Structure 1
Amino acid sequence: MKRLDHPLLSPSLGSHKTLTSFHFGQPGSGRKIYIQASLHAEELPGMLVAHHLRALFEALEVAGQIQGEIVMVPVANPIGLAQRLDHKPMGRFELDTSENFNRHYPDLAAAVEAAVMNQLGDDAAANVGLVRRAMSDYLQKWTPATELQSLRRTLLLLAHDADFMLDLHCDCEGVLHFYTEEACWPQMQELAHFLGARAILLAKSSGNRPIDECLSGAWWQLADRLKASGRDVPLPQACCSTTIELRGELDVSHALAATDARAIVGWLQFIGVVACQQPPQVPSALCQATPLAGSESLYASSPGVVVFAAEVGQHLEVGELVAEIIDPIANTSQRVNAGVAGVFYARIRDRYITAGGELGKIASAQAFRSGDLLGA
């Protein structure tokens, strides 16, 4: 194992933060896997999973079983991890800009298009190498102006040439669920099943460029532009990414983290990055993949105390009661019912809601939304 410390741009005199990456296996010896945790810094289950993965990867490396390269960033957001307000963690948005730490990554397809489009030929592997070098050149030339930009650049430098990218998050309260782009799903579905995902949400592009889609989206976007130009040039989906929501914020336990870490190693054995005598069988799917555009967000039309009638993981039918909003002053109760049929896969942790606040989400099989599909 090799540890690398990457200094971020200092935002103020006497203030310095560092991003740390751990490297297992040998670069260039096989496929590259990139794993990061807690980019939304208050979402801690992934950080504990990374702790368990490190021990497993160290043992596998000593045994000579890593057939490729694994890069892991267990604390992907030292900026957000240090942010607190009134004793509460504030790790989703940078306080200086109010920007979400997992939005607004660069459009890598647009960044490299001019440099690569006329150079692509008949060799798919050579085309992948050409695009990755162009991405590296672009990122090396990017001069960040802020600490946040330097974090984004550092993460992308570590991840841009990965074959698979796993971004470990969690929800407020929820079951394990799985986001990926449609172009990545054929290569990522086994990972969802190894992890026991209870909801799988697919989109061609969810909008606002989170880091996972920044990396994988560049490949299908370039392929689409080649096709639109009438060029029959092989350009595979060379990076497949996913955001894995490891249940809820309070689901931080060694038992869960060890289970998730073993599931990820089982998938790595299945795809041949970790050597084993007999690759494990893929577990049966616990759910069907559904469109992210079919996910219903439930909102409160009035403020009050939230009393959930539905548990996360529960399958709901249209019209079924999800929650009541109690106003103890007016002595009223607002019923919030499911507008679609599907799995109630996430809900808020707080039990007081203001008017217009989001309460939870249901994954349905029918797409009905368009535009940007992710919340703030």
Structure 2
Amino acid sequence: MLPIISTIPLRQMASGDILSLQVYKFIGATPGKKVYIQSNLHGAEIVGNAVIHQLIEFLWMLDNTDLIGEIWLLPVCNPMGTNQRSHHFSSGRYCVYEAKDWNRIFWDYEKDISQSNQSGENQLLTFAKSQINLDIEEIRINFLDAIKQQFVKLSDKVNSDSGVAYTEKFRYKLQSLSLDADYLIDIHSSTNQGLNYLYYFRDREESAKFFLLDFGILLDEYDGDAFDEAFIKPWLALEECFLQLGRTIKFDVEAWTLELGRGMEMIPDSVAKGVRGIKNYLKQKGVLSNDFQLDDIPQRNHDMMFKTKSKVTKYYATVGGMINSRIALGREVRAGEQIYQILIFNKQGKLPTTVDIFADRDGFVYDVSANQSVNEGEFVLGIM
């Protein structure tokens, strides 16, 4: 099955060169769900490009009857961030011109529709009341249409003669491709050194297991400006409104951020786990036909450890110095156990000293800083 390949101009540089996005669209013989998968939103986090490359090779070998619905794949979704360098190192986490995190800039429809209408009622609640007796598929269609109508208004500003800041145009381009997806997967990796895990949203634990990863973090607190958050937050808010009205609804709309390995590297194990998990997710969600078999996927229930973001502890250097010793990535820890030590070269005419730091709760180390030279207040490690 050959993809439809679309090249989308994104930004013209002062040199006259044009940066573009390239989308690979695989469309099955039978209509169904739309899956949107992107990678490399943060410039140094390149592992998703290898994952998408292998997914393209996998889908290429299928017949169009094996695919139900469509899959859109967007590698190198942020060429500005990908090309950014500091000495030998790839950075690209922030738009340096506007001082914004590339994954904290996205438009959140829920913030628009949560405003009060002329009668003083929340607009989202008003919408839910108008749909209370409809079937769930009709509600989904109507709500997506409302999202699209509001999104169209952004294009007037983006295409105006006065123009917009680049991050506004960039987010518009990405969200225009993904707005009508049913399932969204955004592939990242740790800025530092991290395990393979995913972020997920409430009531989606069973689907999270389809990715066959060992760990998942529930986003129980978020502001809606990240790519996955902006996509699913309106749907979660609408579910909550229906619950207030006495009706339980769960839309088959899902958003995931996969965190695979560490930045600036395509770690083979992380790539393999990402590809394996996404293929299984597609199969379990019915995007791959019932007749199509995945030979490399175990036919068993996958055990997964779930944590909540609000209970994840990040440790920041209490003093400046060098990390003299540190507990290893992936290690289990107990409350009161020493997790790292900082060597301090005092500029006070004194001998060097060390400061020991201890865990304040049980857990395991899921992320550690790449740099073992830290200023006070810089990230050292995370425990979930």
Q: Does structure 1 residue 162 correspond to structure 2 residue 174? A: no
Matches of 1:13 and 1:309, distance apart in 2: 46
Displacement of 1:254? 4.1
Matched, 1:68 2:96: no
Q: 3-state DSSP class of the match of 2:200?
A: strand
Shift of 1:175: 1.0
**2:202 is equivalent to residue 202 of structure 1:** no
2:146 alignment partner, one of 130, 134, 137 = 134
Q: Which residue of 2 aligns with 1:309?
A: 326
Q: Contact 1:190 / 1:282 at 8 angstroms: preserved in 2?
A: no
Instruction: Write the letter of the residue equivalent to 2:69.
Output: G
In structure 1, stretches of 5+ residues that fail to align are 364-376
Cα distance, 1:54 vs. partner?
A: 1.1
What is the CA–CA distance in structure 2 between the aligned matches of 1:63 and 1:341, rounded to whole Å?
49
How far has the Cα of 1:313 moved from its partner? 1.0
Deviates further, 254-263 or 217-226: 254-263
Residue identity matched to 1:324: Q
- CA drift at 1:293: 0.6
User: What letter is aligned with 2:358?
Assistant: N
What is the alpha-carbon distance in structure 2 between the residues aligned to residue 27 and residue 153 of structure 1? 30
Offset, 1:148: 1.4
Other-structure match for 1:272: 286
User: What is aligned with 1:40?
Assistant: 42
Q: Who is 1:183 aligned against? A: 203
Query: What is the DSSP-based 3-state SS (H/G/I as helix, E as strand, rest coil) of the residue aligned with 2:272?
Result: helix
Deviates more, 1:170-179 or 1:26-35: 26-35
User: What is the letter of the counterpart of residue 150 of structure 2?
Assistant: Y
1:369 aligns with none
Cα deviation, 1:63-82, whole Å, max 9, x if unaligned, reads: 63111111111111112112
Secondary structure at the counterpart of residue 14 of structure 1? coil
Residue 251 of structure 2 is matched in structure 1 by: 237
State how 1:213-224 maps to structure 2 within 5 Å: 213-224=229-240
Instruction: Report how far residue 117 of structure 1 moved.
Output: 4.7
1:202-261 Cα distance to aligned partner (Å, 9 max, x none)? 123323521101111110112223444x374x7533421111110222551445423421
1:334 equivalent in structure 2: 355
Q: CA deviation at 1:183?
A: 3.5
**Aligned counterpart, 2:93:** 92
Amino acid aligned to 1:243? T
Range that drifts further, 73-82 or 205-214: 205-214
Change (3 A) 1:208 1:214: closer
Task: Describe the shift of the 1:134–1:12 C-alpha distance in structure 2 as closer, same or farther (beyond 3 A).
Answer: farther
Q: Deviation digits for residues 175-214 of structure 1, max 9, x if unmatched?
A: 11211111333433322xx2x23x3211233235211011
SS at match of 2:181: coil
Larger radius of gyration: 2
| Structure 2: distance between partners of 1:43 and 1:290 | 23
Tell me if the contact between 2:216 and 2:307 (Cα under 8 Å) persists in the aligned partners. Answer: yes
Aligned residue identity for 1:127: I
Q: Provide the rounded CA distance (Å) in 2 between the counterparts of 1:155 and 1:181.
A: 21
| CA contact 2:261–2:270 (8 Å) conserved in 1 | no
State how far apart, in whole Å, the 2-side matches of 1:289 and 1:138 are. Answer: 35
Q: CA RMSD in A?
A: 2.4
Aligned counterparts of 2:78 and 2:325: Cα–Cα separation in 1: 32
**Stretch moving more, 2-11 or 166-175:** 2-11
Separation (CA, whole Å) in 1 of partners of 2:105 and 2:249: 25
For 2:172, the equivalent position in structure 1 comes to: 153
**1:10 Cα deviation from its structure 2 partner:** 4.1
Contact kept, 8 Å, 1:128 with 1:236, in 2: the verdict is: no
User: Partner residue of 2:302?
Assistant: 284
Contact 1:92 1:101 in 2 (8 A): yes
**Secondary structure of the residue that 2:35 maps to in structure 1?**
strand
Question: What is the aligned length?
Answer: 355
Identity over aligned pairs, percent = 21
Residue aligned with 2:73, SS: strand
Match of 2:364 in 1: 343
**Following TM superposition, by how much is the alpha carbon of 1:58 offset from its aligned partner in structure 2, in angstroms?**
1.3
Q: Is the partner of 1:336 in helix, strand or coil?
A: strand
Deviates more, 1:274-283 or 1:236-245: 274-283
Query: One-letter code of the match for 2:380?
Result: L
Partner Cα separation in structure 1 for residue 342 and residue 330 of structure 2:
21
> Relative to structure 2, which stretch is displaced further, 72-81 or 299-308?
299-308
- Mean CA deviation greater in 18-27 or 208-217: 18-27
- The 2-side partners of 1:34 and 1:139 are apart by 18
Letter in 1 for 2:45: E
The corresponding residue for 1:354 is 375
- One-letter amino acid of the counterpart of residue 80, structure 1: G
| Secondary structure of 2:370's aligned partner | coil
